[in-house]
Amino acid sequence: MNNLQQYDPEIFHLIEQEERRQRDKIRLIASENYVSTAVMAATGSVLTNKYSEGYPGKRYYEGQQYIDQVESIAIERAKTLFKAEHVNVQPYSGSPANLAVYLAFLKPGDTILGMALPHGGHLTHGAKVSISGKYFNAEFYTLDETTGRLNYDAIRETALRCKPKILIAGHSAYSRILDFPAFRKIADACGALLLVDMAHFAGLVVGGVHPTPIPYADVVTTTTHKSLRGPRGAMIFCKQEYAAAIDKAVFPGLQGGPHNNTTAAIAVALKEAATDDFRLYAQQIVKNAQALAATLLDRGFNLVTGGTENHLMLIDLTNKGITGKVAAKALDAAGIVLNYNAVPYDTRKPFDPSGIRLGSAAVTSRGFKEEQMVQIGKWIDAIVADPSNLQLQQETATAVQRLCIGFPAPGLEHLAA
């Protein structure tokens, strides 16, 4: 970083501050993680200089001798790791990956059916503010108001009524394991393609603590960060019969040249994900999430679905007399970073909702175990109970920093304590 420090000290200083923030705070944002030094090295490599429209062996620019090998390695590692027939590793992120699937199989106005955003779905699953909800006729299924869980009979009824071209299974804030065989049956009953968005739980699939959607879905999309612990990119898996349509939708349909530095970093992350250490990490993610959930339940917090089976949990703070936004900002000041989030049947607006979302992937990458998660739960309880207590926030932030020093973050080992 010496060159950057000398040439642009302003940006260097901000990066340095962000490094220290990631070192000194407990990061519970469910979509974040820490990547290894090796992944960061690939991301920051000279591959960022190369333009490579097309696919390995069929490019529109010369000088692809090494780029083709990098992308081919990433593809083969992904196919082997996820046991997939075909994979495209070029999507820039999860949202363009989902959009590429729509481009491959839909026309404007066609119907898609996904989980409603306030119930744990994602913007790209048909939310009206997203292109997916503007260009297509988006229908939604919701969580059961009593159990807070998916009701597959109700999803089937909705699917048979609206006859979607694509049925979407996936989430950004649902804490239970999805029933992929049930979704497959529903898709078959209504004549839909089944798209699974496993962006949040791909690392858990690799680690063997979450069922894989690959045998059941026609197409599967995922980001490569979150629980998979790679760079900010995406992949699309599909059955061989859809390979040409997916590849054509990504390029030239939606994107130009791939980000070769990201592709290389994806390859590195996939190599890491094939190890026994990664499987142990995935197992600990779930243990940590459940330890935190149990601690919060014991202290009267209302967890949507009543617990968790994956890496995240969604908490409705209505019974605590505090909004999600107020709680999130107070917790951030106390060194605990998470996001405010809408909850099912929320009566508040999205920018000031009733809930907060927590995830365990990043702290697990630091080496936190159940003991540390219990302590985090106690801190959250104290801050939420007294969100205007600035002294408590400062004392907690100091304690959080002290805890974090004992668990060096991957990729930040160079920072002095």
86 among the known binding-site residues? Answer: no
Going by C-beta distance under 8 Å and a sequence separation of 6 or more, which residues neighbour residue 303? 175, 293, 296, 297, 313, 314, 315, 316
d(CA 107, CA 307) in angstroms, rounded, equals 39
349 is known as an active-site residue: no
- The catalytic position among 221, 222, 223, 262 is 223
53 is known as an active-site residue: yes
122 among the known binding-site residues? Answer: yes
120 backbone φψ class: left, alpha, beta (φ>0; ψ -120 to 50): left
> Cα angle vertex 341, ends 339, 143, to 5°?
140
Partner residues linked to 27 by β-bridges: 337
306 among the known binding-site residues? Answer: no
- The catalytic position among 19, 53, 68, 332 is 53
121 among the known binding-site residues? Answer: yes
DSSP β-ladder status, 26-27 and 336-337: parallel
Partner residues linked to 169 by β-bridges: 196
Kindly state the tokens that stand for 252.
Answer: 């030239």
352 is known as an active-site residue: no
d(CA 98, CA 110) in angstroms, rounded, equals 15
Q: Output DSSP code: residue 217.
A: -
43 is known as an active-site residue: no
- The catalytic position among 149, 185, 232, 279 is 232
d(CA 391, CA 287) in angstroms, rounded, equals 32
Q: DSSP of 73-85, one letter per residue?
A: HHHHHHHHHHT-S
- The catalytic position among 27, 77, 226, 366 is 226
50 is known as an active-site residue: no
Q: Output DSSP code: residue 67.
A: H
310 backbone φψ class: left, alpha, beta (φ>0; ψ -120 to 50): beta
- The catalytic position among 51, 135, 346, 369 is 51
**286-to-24, 173, 296, 308, 406 alpha-carbon distances in Å:** 23, 15, 15, 8, 21
275 is known as an active-site residue: no
Of 361, 348, 369, 357, residue with least CA distance to 301: 357
**203-to-129, 142, 171 alpha-carbon distances in Å:** 29, 25, 15
Burial class, 49, CB count within 10 angstroms (exposed 0-12 / middle 13-18 / buried 19+): exposed
- The catalytic position among 24, 139, 197, 247 is 197
Residues noted as catalytic: 51, 53, 197, 223, 226, 232
Which residues are part of a known binding site?
117, 121-123
Which residues are part of a known binding site for (6S)-5,6,7,8-tetrahydrofolate?
117, 121-123
